[in-house]
Amino acid sequence: MAGLEETLVLVKPDGVARNLTGEILSRIEAKGYQLVDIRMVEPNRDLLSAHYAEHEGKPFFDPLVNFMESGPVVAMRIAGHAAIAGVRSLCGATDPTAAAPGTIRGDLGRDWGLAVQQNLIHASDSLESSSRELALWFGPLLSPPRRRRLPPPPPPTRPRTTR
Ligand code: IDP
Ligand code: MG
C-alpha cells in the first residue's frame, strides 16, 4: 500500500475561463481523492516563476508565465494514498492532442495553435514538488492541512406508526 500523500492541483486559466473547474474537481473526487483545501488565486509573476523554476530558459517559459497570469487559477490541495501519481494519471499527457481519451487533457483539451499548450490542469509530479508547490500556493501558516472526517450516517428513520 502506498503512503498517504498530498498533491497540488491547479485549474489553469483556460479551465477556469471555460467553466471546467467543477468537471475537473469532480473527476478527482470521483476517483476517490479528497479535497482538503481550495482557493481561487490571481498569481503574480514571482509566484509563477518560482512554481515553474525548472522550465526557466525554455522557449515556452515566457508564454507559459503570461498564460498562467492571464486570469484566475483555482488551486487545490488533494489528498489520498498515491495521490501524486494518481492525479497525474487522471491528467493525461502534457500535450492535449496526444493525451489519451478518458483523461482530463485528452477529453477536454486541444491544440489552439498557441505558443504554449493550454492543457487545463497542473498536478505535482513528485513528493518533492508537491511539498514545494503546496508551500508556494497555500503557505504553511495560511492553511495548515486539515483532514476532513466523513459526516456520521443519518439516524435510522423510524417507521411511522399509524393509530
Ligand atoms: P506537465 O504540466 O505535464 O508537468 P511540464 O513539462 O512540466 O508539463 O510543462 C509545464 C507546462 O508548460 C505544461 O503543462 C504546458 O502548459 C507547457 N508546456 C510544456 N511543454 C511545452 C511545449 O513543448 N510547448 C508549449 N508548451 C509547453
Ligand atoms: Mg510539470
CB 9 within 8 A of CB 76: yes
Q: Which residues contact 45 (CB under 8 A, 6 or more apart)?
A: 65, 69
- Which strand ranges, in their side-by-side order, compose the sheet holding 121-123? 34-41, 73-81, 4-11, 121-123
Query: Confidence class of residue 150 from pLDDT cuts 50, 70 and 90?
Result: low
Report the separation in Å between the CA atom of 94 and the middle of ligand 1, taken as the mean of its atom positions. Answer: 6
pLDDT tens-digit readout, 51-91: 999 999 999 999 999 999 999 999 999 999 999 999 999 99
The pLDDT of residue 161 is 67
| Residue 141 confidence (pLDDT) above 60 | no
What is the average pLDDT value for the chain, to the nearest integer? 92
Mapped onto helix, strand or coil, the DSSP state of residue 113 is coil
Q: What are phi and psi of 70, to 5 degrees?
A: -80, -10
Catalytic residue check, 55: no
- Cα 29 to ligand 2 centroid, rounded to whole Å: 21
Please report, rounded to a whole number, the percentage of residues in the chain having pLDDT higher than 70: 88
Mean pLDDT of all residues in 102-130: 98
Residue-level pLDDT at 1: 74
37-50: pLDDT as tens digits? 999 999 999 999 99
